[in-house]
Amino acid sequence: MLPGGGNAYPDQLAGKRIPNKEAFDQRGQKLLTDWAVWDAYKLVQPTADGFTIQKRTNPQSCWLAAAAGQRASGLVFIGDVSGGLAVGVKNFWQSYPTSLEVQKAATEAADLFVWLWSPDAAAMDLRHYDTKAHGLDSSYEDVQPGFSTPHGVARTSEMTLFPSAAVPAKEDMARQAKLAVEPPLLVTTPQYIHAARVLGIWSLPDRSTPAKRQLEDQLDAAFALYRKEVEQRHWYGFWDYGDVMHQHDGLRHEWRYDVGGYAWDNTELGTDMWLWSSFLRSGRADIFRMAEAMTRHTTEVDTYHLGRFAPLGSRHNVRHWGCGAKEPRISQAAFRRHYYYLTTDERTGDAMREVVDADYKTTEIDPMRLASPLTKPIPYPGRVRGGPDWLSFIGNWMTEWERTGETKYRDKIIAGMDSIAKMPYWFMTGPNNLYGYEPATGKLYPLVEDGFGTYNLTTIQGGAEVVFELNTLIDHAGWKKAWNQYCRLSGAPKAVVAKDMTTGSEGADGQYARGRLAAYAYMLTKNPAFAKRAWSGLRLASFATTSFKGPEVLNPIDEVPGVSTNSTAQGCLEAIEVLEMCGEQM
């Protein structure tokens, strides 16, 4: 083809410069004129498990099947020997339906398209899964007219650009694809972060005794199960990737993906915090990637960023936005701050700032409007529970104060602390830990005279972790006295708490303390009764899997029948904390 019999084909395949057309012999020039010129290419990933590559010569001609595979890395390049541009998409196949496309490749200026929702896919369907509600009793679902809306949810995608002065070698393109999928992250050791005493109370792995070794093995097994379930259950897709399911159905060998509030988890009992605490103590990249994907999802999809419900989050449901419970605990900064402080991710920083005034929204959407309806007007703008509502607010304010030094948010925290310190039963003033609230000042008020009562969700949706950290930043004697009492007596009846208000000595036997709160009481008092209570209340299920195959299941699986994400997340997070606070008393 070239004068002297040279062959330019190997150089062409390698992306190297080949001679101009006039340098070819007569036969070579004829071939160049007669051969098909491919003007457009596209890769389409319609599912998590398959992609196709097609090409065509011009818009008037057909797309020709060129290749196919399973999971594309998500890198596309267009250019020539003078240079070009590659684009890599993070979590490309996990966030299907996606596609990459090049058009006008035979012209002087080609077009490159990165489709985050492929035009070859079906139209995006954001409707609710049913036209009627199913109720808390029947489906653990709290659907209300007009509330199952996606208006205001979001989805962040990440792309990396790789400009070049030539056509990259195949090895370089493979490296670029890997960099886009898993960007390197500079981290320090778990021991260093632990010594800095940041991001709350958590322990380093400890296998120094048989009992501790067994517990560490259970913690590892819990993560291994959920990591495997993401793959086995195909928890992928543009709106779903990053989340996990809420409750497993052992009889169906399936998660309750189609049963109201038992489907997607949406942060319910601190799943995000469990994964981040697991990463902090281990430094494992696989845990980081799963926690990162969950934070991206829960920050974006489970949270409203505009419209009627901004900046609240949406409770667990078959559709991420399907539940009628729109609450600040789901959108709270406490679930995002690990990722932000480890990476300085600016989008996460913006999302945490979005929720800093979420307390004002509770005057429009009362979080207890169904569970405890108002029977008469109250002299306050709204009502909130001490937890999880107020505790999620102070996590938002604490983060904003840390990031900016803006003292007005610190002052709102202190205003709430002052209020609780003046209440008749401190943090156990009720009923249902429910207070009148004034967002302009941050002040809380008792709603009934001599009201008493706790709430089952007060500290298990990130609240305890927020306070553990906050108490190292603000030294408020009245609040700490109230909090320490709550740790000692969170399960006590009214009479016991009333007596403690005067004597300050009730509950020393630990009988009323619970879980991590009991461990915190031990950390303060060194009274072994609290440590005993903390350890005796710790419950971690066995995560030993059972294999199923054949006609009972669609595909062979290894599962833990009936496993609960609520129990897993809370049990693992509590174990990590109790190990730190009273590990020597195990």
pLDDT at 5 (0 to 100)? 67
Ramachandran assignment for 510, one of left (phi > 0), alpha (psi -120 to 50 degrees), beta (any other): left
Q: Is 50 exposed, middle or buried (0-12, 13-18, 19+ CB in 10 A)?
A: middle
SS3 content of the chain, % helix, strand, coil (to 5): 40, 15, 45
Q: What is the chain's pLDDT, residue by residue, as a tens digit (586 residues)? A: 666 667 888 888 888 888 888 888 888 888 888 999 999 999 999 999 999 999 999 999 999 999 999 999 999 999 988 899 999 999 999 999 999 999 999 999 999 999 999 999 999 999 999 999 998 999 999 999 999 999 999 999 999 999 999 999 999 999 999 999 999 999 999 999 999 999 999 999 999 999 999 999 999 999 999 999 999 999 999 999 999 999 999 999 999 999 999 999 999 999 999 999 999 999 999 999 999 999 999 999 999 999 999 999 999 999 999 999 999 999 999 999 999 999 999 999 999 999 999 999 999 999 999 999 998 999 999 999 999 999 999 999 999 999 999 999 999 999 999 999 999 999 999 999 999 999 999 999 999 999 999 999 999 999 999 999 999 999 999 999 999 999 999 999 999 999 999 998 899 999 999 999 999 999 999 999 999 999 998 988 889 999 999 999 999 999 999 999 999 999 999 999 999 999 999 9
Instruction: Report residue 69: phi and psi, to 5°.
Output: -165, -165
State the Cα–Cα distance between residues 583 and 307, nearest whole angstrom: 47
Diameter of the chain measured on Cα atoms: 106
pLDDT at 4: 65
Q: Is the peptide bond before 46 cis (omega within 30 degrees of 0)?
A: no
Q: What is the reported pTM?
A: 0.95
- In contact, 159 and 114? CB cutoff 8 Å: yes
Per DSSP (E only), the strands in 116-256 are 159-164, 248-249, 254-255
Given a contact cutoff of 8 angstroms between Cβ atoms, the answer to whether 32 and 43 are in contact is: no
Burial class (CB in 10 A: 0-12, 13-18, 19+), 46: middle
| Sequence-ordered list of residues with C-beta below 8 angstroms from that of 249, at least 6 positions apart, any chain | 255, 256, 259, 562
- Burial code (b: 16+ CB inside 10 Å, e: under 16) for 10-24 equals eeeeebeebeeeeeb
Cα 243 from Cα 470, distance rounded (Å): 28
| 204 burial level (CB within 10 Å; 0-12, 13-18, 19+) | middle
Q: What is the pLDDT of residues 308-325, one digit of tens each?
A: 999 999 999 999 999 999
Alpha helices by DSSP H, 133-209? 136-139, 170-181, 190-195
> What is the residue extent of each domain of the chain?
1-34, 382-506
pLDDT value at residue 208: 96
| Angle in degrees, 0-180, between the axes of helices 515-525 and 463-470, rounded to the nearest 10 | 20
φ, ψ (nearest 5 deg) of residue 137: -65, -40
What pLDDT, in 10s, does the model give residues 501-547? 999 889 999 999 999 999 999 999 999 999 999 999 898 888 999 99
pLDDT at 16: 83
